[in-house]
Amino acid sequence: MSEPVALRETTQLVLPLDLFEEFRDELNGRFTLTFFEVGDDADGEFVRVIGSPVEIRDASEFLSSRGVRLG
């Protein structure tokens, strides 16, 4: 059986709120994603971007091509 951590890594991105706000409209328009759980951690507010492994991979590539470092 797959480990939950491995599944989360392929089905979600965690972005700082300010970075998410910068790309929200483009992410929403280009990909089938759900935006969830604005919360706080040691680094400030964040948003979980959830989708299928294919959508998350494509969204990650989209963000990377715009200079966003993930992970």
31 neighbors 62 (Cβ within 8 angstroms) = yes
The rounded distance, in Å, linking the Cα atoms of 48 and 13 is 6
Supply the pTM of this predicted model: 0.80
> Over the chain (71 residues), what is each successive 10-residue block's mean pLDDT?
59 92 96 87 84 96 94 68
Encoded tokens for 24? 């929200």
The rounded distance, in Å, linking the Cα atoms of 2 and 4 is 6
